Amino acid sequence: MTKLIVLLIGLIIIAFILWWFFGKHDVTSTEAAVTAERQSVDITVSGGYSPEQVVLKQGVPAVLNFTRKDASTCLDRVVFSDFGINQELPKNQLEAIEIDTSKPGEYDWACGMDMFHGKVIIK
Ligand SMILES: [Cu+2]
């Protein structure tokens, strides 16, 4: 009796394996809902950058909104060398800078003289 049960279980397992590898499977597939998703971070420029580190989600269009409150000309430009961005920051005026989030990594930004620094982390 035990042998018969073992044999039966063996046959069921073999049938399952055959079905698993050769049978037709219905795959439930759901398409991702694509919305006009965006991400943005406000950065205040005053004696440095606040925040000085920004984490962005990969693949979602991103905008960094810089507002310079500092009168010093040191911070009147912001440079993202990895993205080829060198943007003027007029005082008390919001400057939106679009960031390419297609590649994950860490990207530094700096003032025009490379004295103050910030970092974008895309992951
Ligand atoms: Cu500077």
The torsion angle over the Cα atoms of residues 14, 18, 24 and 29, rounded to 10 degrees, is: 70
Q: In the prediction, which pLDDT does 13 show? A: 65
Q: Enumerate helices (H) and strands (E) in the chain, giving the number of each.
A: 1, 9
37 pLDDT band, cuts 50/70/90, is confident
How is the chain split into domains, by residue range? 39-122
pLDDT at 85 over 80: yes
pLDDT of residue 9: 67
Average pLDDT of the chain is 85
Could you tell me which CATH class the domain 39-122 is placed in? mainly beta
> What is the C-alpha end-to-end distance of the chain, expressed in Å?
59
Q: How far does residue 77's CA lie from ligand 1's centre (Å)?
A: 8
Find the 73 Cα to ligand 1 centroid distance in Å. 7
Tell how far the Cα of 62 is from the centroid of ligand 1, in angstroms: 25
Q: 18 pLDDT exceeds 90? A: no
Burial pattern 52-79, b for ≥16 Cβ within 10 A else e, equals eebebeeeeebebebbbebeeeebbbbb
DSSP class of 112: T
How far is the centre of ligand 1, averaged over its atoms, from the C-alpha of 72 (Å)? 9
Contact 101, 80 (CB under 8 A): no
Q: Pick the residue with more confidence: 6 or 50?
A: 50
Compute, in angstroms, the gap from residue 69 CA to the centroid of ligand 1.
14
